[in-house]
Amino acid sequence: MHTTFQELGLSENLLKAVGDVGYTTPTPIQEQAIPYVLQMRDVLGCAQTGTGKTASFILPMFEILKEGRTKVRMPRALVLEPTRELAMQVAENFDLYGKYLPQLSKALLIGGENLDPQIRALKKNPDVLIATPGRLLDMMERGHVMLNDIKILVIDEADRMLDMGFIPDIEKITARLPFTRQTLFFSATMAPEIRKLADKFLSNPKSISVTPPASTVATIDHALIDLPTGHDAQKRHALRYLLKTHEVQNAFIFCNRKRDVALLERSLKRHGFNAGALHGDLDQSVRIKTLDAFRDGVIDLLVCSDVAARGLDIADVSHVFNFDVPFNPEDYVHRIGRTGRAGRAGVALTFVTPDETKQVQAIEALIKKVITRRVLEGLPAAPASGKPRAPRDKKRSKRAAPTPREQAAAPPAPAKAASNSKAFGDHLPAFLRHARKV
């Protein structure tokens, strides 16, 4: 018999809101974290997104804050998120769960957007700040907000904060918080550097781990597909084949480099697929629009980079494709975790070229599992255009635009839209048109 939300010690207004959202039982992280947060303990939570982690800190935070009052420009809780998208997601959760507690308010402080509306939100003396570190520091330095009365600090996605270089900012922020406060620290992985950080920020925390560190979710059917060469044109060809032969409702497609995100999006569109792109160089407004379009089903395929897609919570994503094996093995766990969310089934397929085998070994060592290899039956040979990719080059990878050669290597426009075209690898030279196993 599972614990119920009632048994976790949440009050009627929160139970009603949770019921309205349709949750019947708490997820393991909620079951384990909520009682300790309510006891005002520090919590060290090892949990991936998709486990219900947001509610595990927002619900008890409401419970604690609903009794007190916020002073002028002195919010009582602070949630730090590494990306604007994640901060927006937490803000949406705040509105959902706080539906019957209208006395509690929030301000969302995220970079890349006009300061004025956020300054106006701060003037309304919000109880809770949901922020990305850079924008919060900016607001603090301009004197729009003081953190002297913060009672609860949430550091979410700590491993991502570390990857993105936000730790110095977080240290500056925490130096301005009262010493006696409650800190909740969440990370999908617990690498030694993360533990060290946790020791710095937490005092006698209750450790909670809902899945072993860096494990993959059981509802995801994930597999590797070996490709014989690293030709991008061949990868695009194999991807189109998968998209046409699998029941892909919608999918995240991950590339390691921003320029490949742009290139692949254009290529998919040329082949009649309904695709959009998401990477860190795009304007905030474009990112939000694209994400909304994907959420609403206006776009089926979202080609993206790791930074842009980390932690995004879109419930019904049928597939994840890794166009490239991620350089960082932990990103594999995050990428495939975009599907199979909240107990649903999902499929994640990763292309592996011969020069990516080391990256695969690192992933398998991390998740302590050998990933199934799958054969692509009936894939026609790829177009013979394109050269293998140059090895990773940080400077080059910053460029979003493809080189003229890459543009030339991109497949030509299809005669028909993908949905009604059964011909794979349009314009293939005849001598390459034979079925083969990959």
Contact positions toward ligand AMP, by CB under 6 A?
23, 26-27, 30, 49-55, 313, 315, 341-342
Shortest distance in whole angstroms from residue 21 CB to ligand AMP: 7
For residues 239 and 245, give the distance between their C-alpha atoms in angstroms, rounded to a whole number: 10
| Nearest approach, Cβ of residue 70 and ligand AMP (Å) | 25
Q: Of 52 and 230, which CB lies nearer to ligand AMP in the complex structure? A: 52
Give the 3-state DSSP-derived string for the chain, with helices as H, strands as E and coil as C: CCCCCHHHCCCHHHHHHHHHHCCCCCCHHHHHHHHHHHCCCCEEEECCCCCCHHHHHHHHHHHHHCCCCCECCECCEEEECCCHHHHHHHHHHHHHHCCCCCCCCEEEECCCCCHHHHHHHHHCCCCEEEECHHHHHHHHHCCCCCCCCCCEEEECCHHHHHHCCCHHHHHHHHHCCCCCCEEEEEECCCCHHHHHHHHHHCCCCEEEECCCCCCCCCCEEEEEEECCCCEHHHHHHHHHHHHHHCCCCCEEEECCCHHHHHHHHHHHHHCCCCEEEECCCCCHHHHHHHHHHHHCCCCCEEEECHHHHCCCCCCCCCEEEECCCCCCHHHHHHHHCCCCHHHCCEEEEEEECHHHHHHHHHHHHHHCCCCEECCCCCEECCCCCCCECCCCCHHHHHCCCCCHHHHHHCCCCCCCCHHHCCCCCCCCCHHHCCEECC
CB of 297 to ligand AMP, least distance (A): 16
Whichever of 263 and 308 has its CB closer to ligand AMP, that residue is 308
The nearest distance, CB 280 to ligand AMP, in angstroms, is: 20
Closer to ligand AMP by Cβ: residue 240 or 341: 341
**Which of residues 56 and 182 has its CB atom nearest to ligand AMP in the complex?**
56
Distance of closest approach, residue 211 Cβ to ligand AMP, in angstroms? 11
Taking the complex as a whole, how short is the minimal distance between the CB of residue 309 and ligand AMP, in angstroms?
Answer: 13
Is 174 or 211 the residue whose CB approaches ligand AMP more closely?
A: 211
CA dihedral of 59, 91, 305, 48, whole degrees rounded to 10 = 0
User: How far from the centroid of its chain's Cα atoms is residue 267's Cα?
Assistant: 24
CA-CA distance, 289 to 299, in Å (whole number)?
11
Nearer to ligand AMP, 44 or 262 (CB): 44
In angstroms, give the least distance from the CB of 308 to ligand AMP: 16
**Rounded Cα–Cα distance for residues 89 and 320 (Å):** 20
The residue count for the chain: 438
User: Minimum distance between the CB of residue 295 and ligand AMP, rounded to whole angstroms?
Assistant: 11
Question: How far is residue 94's CA from residue 381's CA, in Å, rounded to a whole number?
Answer: 50
In the complex with ligand AMP, the residue whose CB is nearer, 85 or 265, is: 85
269 vs 295, beta carbon nearer ligand AMP: 295
Smallest gap from Cβ 241 to ligand AMP, in A, equals: 31
- Shortest Å, Cβ 93 to ligand AMP: 7
- The CB-of-97 to ligand AMP minimum distance in angstroms stands at 10
Query: Is residue 307 a contact partner of residue 398, using CB atoms and an 8 Å limit?
Result: no
Residue closer to ligand AMP by CB (options 17, 264) is 17
Query: Based on CB atoms, which residue is closest to ligand AMP, 186 or 351?
Result: 186
Cβ-based nearer residue to ligand AMP, 6 or 357? 6
